[in-house]
Amino acid sequence: MKQDRILLLCMFLIVPLITMHGQQKYPVNYFRSPVNFPVSLSGSFAEIRKNHFHSGIDIRTQGVQGKPIYAVADGYVSRVNVSPGGFGKALYITHPNGYTSLYAHLKGFSGAIANWVKARQYKLESFAMDVEVPQGLLKVKKGDVVAYSGNSGASGGPHLHFEIRETQTQEIIDPLDFGFLKQDGIPPKIAWVKIYPFGENATVNFAGQAVLIPVTGSNGSYKLKISDTVKVSGNIIFGIETSDNAEGGLKTGVDGIDLTVDGVKVFSQNIEQFAFAETRYANSLMDYPAFVQNRRKINRAYVAPNNKLGVYTEVKNRGVLNFTDSKLHKIQYTVNDAFKNKATLVFWVKSHPPSNESGRLTPADKFPAQMFTYKSDNQFDRSNLKFTVPKEALYEELPFEYVVTPPVNGSYAYVHHLQNRYTPLHTYCTLSIKAESLPEHLFSKAVIVAVEAGNKFSSRGGTYENGWVTTRIRDFGNFTVAVDTDPPAIRPINIFPNKKVKKQSSIMIKISDNLSGIKTYRGTLNGKWILMDYDEKNRLLTYAFDEYMQPGKNQFVLMVADAVGNSTLYKATLIR
């Protein structure tokens, strides 16, 4: 009897804890805002983008750089990443409650953090760095200014990219779940629905092509703009384009999408958290060709065989629905945001039995040369081409298409058309092209290039060996071999030989390369390495004067080299 009372007491103690955790999964009062002005978002968590999900929220900084950025809670700086592209200048702070905050696209760091980063860069003699910081070396308190907002890296304008991650798993969580934005009462919007025939004999409106249909409605209730019932037959996939804006037009993003057919749930996803290693699966979740062609973000209710995203909570038959009867079927989408506001789209489809003929016709000259699989390595060899697509580089089986055409002006090999730009690749593939017409003196200057519109070249790198140029690619396209014999260009912005620089505080120089790309640069002052900030998107090097700029004459030297070894040297005496 005593044991029963103890068990009953334990149950009463446990149930409230479970209930509280279910009601509030994340702490909402633990973190403060990283900025000291109202949070306004220009980018939302898990937005679908090419090759990735947006991994945080983008906080507007009123169109300027240099706004103070605050530690959102007590903790310590655990990592600093400085890069010419990507996140630019980024700071990671680990907190004792099991989470890590990330602040990116910064203009710079503050106080002891800035001093430590600069000392580390000088020790490494490198602007770029990705360094784990010893625990406790750089402690911060909640509300400390740790950095200043900027536009560094692959940023399209001044803003703060902010993330919350689980420290142990490094999985990324929607910061809005921690209360970084006031309550939002506006439901998501649904703009388009797309219906896809899937496989042989499948049709939509009696044709073998997908149909994109506009949606109308407001305040969370939507329907198709067309009045006709959509006719479907065979295996069908559905997709929608949806978005969410909070009050004041802030972008907050969509958390969950459910699809039901005749009241039965057939698909459900929830993106409130994902692993960074999963981010490229965004290419499989979305309608990749529609995105590449016109930037349309169609979220497909379909899970490809090699799509390993962990955001799907319920999926029947991978989202492939079979319609073979002669009945009307009710299709309903339900979309919710981080604040559980909901929007619904309801429409009807009329099913009919499939015909005996395929809904899709394949021209005779387009029959695939080889079927590729995601289950194992694929090797495709020709006399002047070697192409390896490794296991799990594809999301599903692919009838690989290949065409070869004569060389174009400036190339040293045939142009090899590998599939098309509308098919995504998940991992890198190895490509080797035989450069039959390449002169010996150009062997070291050869690279594989993508041939883009107007026969413009975009380097994919590569090395020459025994008549072949080899590189790795992560996108299908059209490829050939070209050479880069031109050295990088150096264009000083605010200096020239024997210039008096007493009234200025920095040196600014533009650097660029016409094909293979900048690989290294090194600036020295009076023979000593100096820290030059590299803004890759603007091709701009900046040296902020420090103790290495001495009174009197200073000898400045800059060496810039591209990926195939061409280099340019710039020298100038600067008088301070």
- Within 10 A of 181 (CB to CB), how many other CB atoms are there? 21
Task: Tell me how far apart the alpha carbons of residues 146 and 148 are, in angstroms, rounded to a whole number.
Answer: 7
What would the mean pLDDT of 523-548 be, rounded to a whole number?
A: 97
More confident residue, 253 or 211: 211
- Band of residue 247 on the pLDDT scale cut at 50, 70, 90: low
* pLDDT over threshold 70, residue 249: no
What would the mean pLDDT of 71-85 be, rounded to a whole number?
A: 98
What would the mean pLDDT of 120-128 be, rounded to a whole number?
A: 98
- Domain contains 286: yes
- Domain contains 11: no
- Kindly report the average pLDDT of the chain as a whole number: 92
- Which of 483, 505, 525 is the endpoint of a domain? 483
The per-residue pLDDT for range 101-123, each reduced to its tens digit, is: 999 999 999 999 999 999 999 99
CATH number where 535 lies: 2.60.40.1220
What would the mean pLDDT of 318-333 be, rounded to a whole number?
A: 97
Specify the number of domains making up the chain. Answer: 4
What would the mean pLDDT of 72-100 be, rounded to a whole number?
A: 97
- Which of 304, 323, 351 is the endpoint of a domain? 351
Q: What pTM was computed for the model?
A: 0.89
What would the mean pLDDT of 177-194 be, rounded to a whole number?
A: 88
Q: How many residues does the chain have?
A: 576
- Domain contains 137: yes
Least confident of 184-188, 382-386, 525-529, 552-556: 184-188
More confident residue, 401 or 20: 401
- Is the domain of 323 the same as that of 198? yes
Strand partners, 159: 60, 150
- Band of residue 433 on the pLDDT scale cut at 50, 70, 90: very high
More confident residue, 549 or 19: 549
- Domain contains 328: yes
Annotate 413-470 with DSSP letters as a single string. S-EEEES-TTSEEEEEEEEEEE-TT--GGGGGGEEEEEEEGGGEEEE---EEETTEEE
- Quick one: which of 47, 137, 178, 152 has its CA closest to 90? 152
According to the model, what pLDDT value does residue 86 have?
95
- Which of 318, 351, 384 is the endpoint of a domain? 351
According to the model, what pLDDT value does residue 357 have?
57
* pLDDT over threshold 90, residue 22: no
* pLDDT over threshold 80, residue 318: yes
What would the mean pLDDT of 427-443 be, rounded to a whole number?
A: 96
- Is the domain of 234 the same as that of 341? yes
According to the model, what pLDDT value does residue 194 have?
98
According to the model, what pLDDT value does residue 250 have?
61
Domain that holds residue 404: 364-483
How many CA within 13 A on the CB side of residue 528?
11
* pLDDT over threshold 70, residue 573: yes
The per-residue pLDDT for range 511-528, each reduced to its tens digit, is: 999 999 999 999 999 999
- Band of residue 499 on the pLDDT scale cut at 50, 70, 90: very high
- Is the domain of 201 the same as that of 282? yes
User: Cβ(78)–Cβ(103) under 8 Å?
Assistant: no
The one-letter amino acid at 115: N
User: Cβ(216)–Cβ(246) under 8 Å?
Assistant: no
- Is the domain of 133 the same as that of 219? no
* pLDDT over threshold 90, residue 486: yes
- Quick one: which of 93, 40, 92 has its CA closest to 67? 40
- Band of residue 7 on the pLDDT scale cut at 50, 70, 90: very low
- Is the domain of 235 the same as that of 295? yes
All residues at 6 or more sequence positions from 36 whose CB lies less than 8 Å from its CB, including other chains? 68, 70
- Is the domain of 473 the same as that of 520? no
